[in-house]
């Protein structure tokens, strides 16, 4: 037996390891003491990630194997960082941060243990694995003369851009298909150009995340013994945020670990809001016999009642925290929609003293842009806050500003982003050293080989890693260009002047020339001044705020692709007007799940905003009877 067993007496160590957390209830104790393979479905704010971290700390104390480890997988870097942070606080936990254990995202795991083997065998280098970078390059290639046949065909397609931008390899045969829709027959010249385009990008190392799963399958097909190697290395596997795992990902994990290792999966099936998986009905989470955690430590009774009323599975949500204020329904008119977020800020200032707001998040969120059409506004964030739409970066790993200002990552990750940023700059400047160099990680080596010394480059990377540069004003950008030029001059073409370098497009401000959003403030922040106090409320999509805990949250109504407003549909459920969940279409259930994620973020104050034309008198009355305040924006 290679898995480690936890026993009731082990729980005594939790006071020392995680003194801020409480695991006294039967549901959490059962999850901690479960030693077999089992799923756990837990409500928002139940502390899934911290429970998992606590369990790992207990296992770390007893882990006896020098060459076998625990595999801990999450969907997002945020969850991975939370687990890592908790483990790093003790000597025992720190052991899990190194060999033989693995902590990372499912993507990272599949790349490291499977896909890279297949790529290496084919001598394929990876420049970047990033859907946005791929999309940008693929669309630009598709519009070039070399792909004229493809271009003509695309000009007749209504979904041309998405077809090209979402090309990916499927299964071990590396079939070229698109998430954007069907492609022409394999024998056609158009399809052959589509394949050539995909291969051209493969040749320069630009991949989409999904491609890695195809290479992983290829690795398993060519080397079936990898299955044994991986599961023997990891007798215990924990997966966080399981509801967001696509079937493609789950299938590979099942092949590796099911019925071989002890696998425990944590998540909340009602928070599944990542759509676009055509095989999502095959997903198995949560399996029959799963454990449950039904109490939330994040919010109290009133928010719990609202959240439970729209929970698609209809399972209970119990709020265990203190109940602070009544929820508010904020009704606006089409003519004053641009005041909604500001009004929410005023409501927050009225309810909380300055101290209570310090270091606590106040956020406004809305579903992703969905349906268009001639309907009263309130369709997406752009209707409430026009600057928001314009501020969305079109690309991530291909944008110097994003790379150099990546705030969330660890220092090591920041250095990787900075190296890539420097490589992009050298490429833009057509520096000889950047020719044929696809991966920022090899930049230092390439410079050393070429120049014999890379001290200047090293200094620049260190400086940018430790102090993220500002891009706000033209002066900031000129200063960055000047610093980079000073350190990189020896690598640039002899004729390149500092002025030419500073004029490179990647130092330009993407928002330059556009109307300023709010008196020069960032386009995703609303600054509210009320009662001689100031409050900042940041804005985002619900998906971008998943996993967050706020003091106060505003959920703005939105219009789905199915041409239904989410809150118009949900408010009668929240008001308890006896609506039936079984009558909701899959698209409407998706909207409900989105609201469920958004409405379950706040610890104390929940506010929903809807156009008054869409909320009838009966619903308003029923909500008021349940203790909701109705605030009509004048
Ligand atoms: N066992 C616990 N004891 C006390 N407080 C806890 C416990 N678990 C979580 N909390 C607190 O509850 C809040 C929500 O926790 P957390 O964000 O980890 O929940 P979650 O299950 O990941 O939520 P979601 O699914 O909504 O992302 C946090 O403020 C956290 O500190």
- Please tell me the predicted confidence (pLDDT) of residue 275: 64
Section 106-115 average pLDDT:
93
Task: Evaluate whether residue 216 is within a structural domain.
Answer: no
How many Å apart are CA 208 and CA 214, to the nearest integer?
11
Does 45 belong to an annotated binding site?
yes
- Please tell me the predicted confidence (pLDDT) of residue 576: 95
Task: Evaluate whether residue 212 is within a structural domain.
Answer: no
Task: Evaluate whether residue 568 is within a structural domain.
Answer: yes
Contacts of 121 (CB under 8 A, 6+ apart): 222
Q: Write the pLDDT tens digit of every residue in 367-409.
A: 988 777 778 889 999 899 988 876 665 545 567 777 776 554 5
Task: Evaluate whether residue 383 is within a structural domain.
Answer: yes
Task: Evaluate whether residue 478 is within a structural domain.
Answer: yes
Its ipTM equals: 0.97
Q: Which atom of ligand 1 is nearest to the CA of 293?
A: 21
Same domain, 442 and 585: no
Could you tell me how many residues make up the chain? 634
The CATH number linked to 229 is: 3.40.50.300
Task: Evaluate whether residue 496 is within a structural domain.
Answer: yes
Section 129-157 average pLDDT:
92
**Does 298 sit in the ligand 1 pocket, CB within 6 Å?**
yes
Same domain, 287 and 311: no
Name the residue with higher pLDDT: 296 or 404. 296
* Final residue before a domain boundary, out of 293, 315, 339: 293
- Please tell me the predicted confidence (pLDDT) of residue 226: 93
Query: How remote is the CA of residue 297 from the centroid of ligand 1, in Å?
Result: 6
Determine how many CB atoms are found less than 10 A away from the CB of residue 284.
Answer: 15
Choosing from 28, 79, 297, 548 the residue with most ligand 1 atoms within 8 A of its CB, the one to mutate for a pocket test is 297
Residue 284 in this model has a pLDDT that exceeds 50: yes
Choosing from 25, 47, 308 the residue with most ligand 1 atoms within 8 A of its CB, the one to mutate for a pocket test is 47
Q: Write the pLDDT tens digit of every residue in 36-93.
A: 999 999 999 999 999 999 999 999 999 999 999 999 999 877 788 889 998 998 898 9
Pairing of strands 167-170, 362-366: unpaired
How many Å apart are CA 455 and CA 551, to the nearest integer?
47
Same domain, 317 and 353: yes
Helix spans in 268-398 (H): 301-309, 340-351, 354-357, 381-384, 386-391
Percent of the chain with pLDDT over 90: 68
Section 341-348 average pLDDT:
97
Residue 514's pLDDT band (boundaries 50, 70, 90)? very low
* Final residue before a domain boundary, out of 479, 507, 535: 507
Q: What's the total number of domains in the chain?
A: 4
How many Å apart are CA 489 and CA 492, to the nearest integer?
5
Does 44 belong to an annotated binding site?
yes
Section 282-287 average pLDDT:
94
- Please tell me the predicted confidence (pLDDT) of residue 315: 94
Name the residue with higher pLDDT: 405 or 258. 258
Same domain, 305 and 289: no
Q: Which atom of ligand 1 is nearest to the CA of 600?
A: 26
CA distances, 101 to each of 93, 116, 146 (Å): 11, 19, 47
Q: Which domain holds residue 170?
A: 131-207
**Does 48 sit in the ligand 1 pocket, CB within 6 Å?**
yes
Name the residue with higher pLDDT: 388 or 26. 26
* Nearest-5° Cα angle at 181, 177 to 184: 65
Same domain, 489 and 610: no
What does pLDDT average to over the chain? Answer: 90
Residue 516 in this model has a pLDDT that exceeds 50: no
Residue 569 in this model has a pLDDT that exceeds 90: yes
Determine how many CB atoms are found less than 10 A away from the CB of residue 290.
Answer: 15
* Cβ pair 464, 477 in contact under 8 A: no
The CATH number linked to 545 is: 3.40.50
Same domain, 336 and 404: no
Q: Write the pLDDT tens digit of every residue in 182-221.
A: 999 999 999 999 999 999 999 999 999 999 999 999 999 9
Query: How remote is the CA of residue 94 from the centroid of ligand 1, in Å?
Result: 22
How many Å apart are CA 112 and CA 92, to the nearest integer?
25
Section 439-456 average pLDDT:
83
For every residue of 192-224, DSSP letters joined together read HHHHHHHHHHHHTTEE-HHHHHHHHHHHHHH-T
Task: Evaluate whether residue 123 is within a structural domain.
Answer: no
């Amino acid at each position: 037996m290679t898995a480690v067993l936890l026993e009731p007496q082990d729980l005594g160590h939790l006071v020392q390891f995680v003194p801020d957390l409480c695991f006294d209830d039967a549901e959490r104790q059962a999850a901690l003491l479960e030693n077999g393979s089992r799923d756990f479905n837990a409500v928002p704010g139940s502390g899934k990630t911290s429970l998992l971290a606590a369990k790992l700390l207990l296992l770390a104390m007893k882990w006896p194997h020098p060459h076998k480890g625990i595999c801990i997988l999450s969907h997002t870097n945020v969850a991975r960082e939370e687990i890592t942070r908790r483990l790093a606080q003790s000597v025992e936990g720190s052991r899990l941060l190194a060999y033989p254990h693995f902590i990372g995202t499912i993507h990272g795991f599949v790349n490291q243990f499977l896909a890279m083997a297949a790529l290496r065998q084919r001598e394929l280098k990876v420049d970047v694995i990033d859907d946005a970078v791929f999309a940008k390059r693929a669309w630009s290639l598709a519009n070039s003369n070399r792909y004229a046949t493809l271009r003509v065909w695309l000009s007749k397609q209504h979904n041309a851009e998405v077809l090209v931008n979402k090309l990916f390899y499927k299964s071990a045969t590396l079939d070229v298909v698109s998430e954007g829709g069907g492609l022409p027959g394999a024998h056609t010249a158009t399809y052959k150009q589509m394949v050539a385009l995909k291969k051209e990008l493969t040749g320069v190392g630009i991949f989409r995340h999904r491609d890695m799963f195809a290479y992983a399958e290829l690795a398993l097909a060519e080397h079936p013994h990898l299955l044994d190697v991986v599961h023997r290395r990891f007798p215990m596997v924990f997966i966080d945020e399981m509801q967001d795992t696509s079937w493609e990902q789950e299938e590979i994990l099942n092949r590796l670990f099911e019925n071989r290792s002890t696998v425990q999966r944590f998540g909340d099936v009602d928070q599944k809001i990542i759509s676009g998986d055509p095989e999502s009905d095959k997903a198995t989470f949560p399996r029959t016999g799963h454990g449950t955690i039904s109490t939330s430590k994040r919010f109290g009774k009133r928010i719990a009642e609202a959240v439970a009323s729209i929970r698609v599975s209809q399972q209970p949500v119990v709020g265990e925290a203190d109940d602070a204020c009544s929820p508010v329904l904020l009704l606006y008119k089409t003519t004053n929609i641009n005041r909604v977020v500001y009004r929410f800020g005023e409501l927050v200032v009225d309810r909380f003293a300055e101290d209570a707001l310090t270091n606590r998040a106040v956020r406004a969120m809305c579903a992703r842009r969905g349906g268009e059409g001639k309907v009263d506004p309130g369709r997406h964030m752009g209707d409430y806050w026009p600057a928001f739409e314009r501020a969305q970066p079109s690309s991530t790993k291909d944008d110097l500003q994003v790379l150099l200002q990546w705030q969330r990552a660890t220092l090591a990750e920041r250095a990787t982003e900075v190296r890539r940023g420097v490589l992009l700059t050298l490429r833009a400047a057509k520096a000889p050293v950047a020719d044929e160099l696809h991966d920022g990680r090899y930049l230092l080596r390439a410079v050393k080989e070429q120049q014999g010394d890379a001290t200047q480059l090293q200094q620049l990377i260190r400086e940018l890693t430790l102090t993220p540069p500002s891009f706000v004003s033209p002066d900031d950008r000129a200063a960055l260009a000047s610093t980079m030029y000073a350190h990189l001059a020896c690598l640039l073409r002899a004729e390149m002047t500092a002025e030419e370098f500073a004029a490179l497009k990647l130092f330009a401000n993407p928002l330059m020339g556009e109307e300023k959003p709010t008196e020069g403030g960032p386009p995703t922040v609303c600054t509210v001044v009320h009662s001689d106090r100031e409050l900042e409320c940041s804005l985002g999509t619900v998906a971008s705020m998943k996993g967050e805990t706020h003091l106060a949250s505003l959920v703005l109504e939105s219009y789905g692709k199915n041409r239904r407003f989410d809150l118009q549909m949900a408010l009668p459920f929240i008001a308890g007007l006896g609506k039936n969940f079984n009558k909701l279409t899959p698209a409407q259930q998706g909207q409900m799940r989105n609201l469920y994620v958004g409405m379950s973020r706040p610890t104390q104050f929940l506010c929903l905003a809807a156009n008054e034309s869409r909320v009838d008198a009966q619903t308003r009355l029923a909500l008021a009877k349940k203790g909701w305040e109705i605030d009509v924006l004048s």
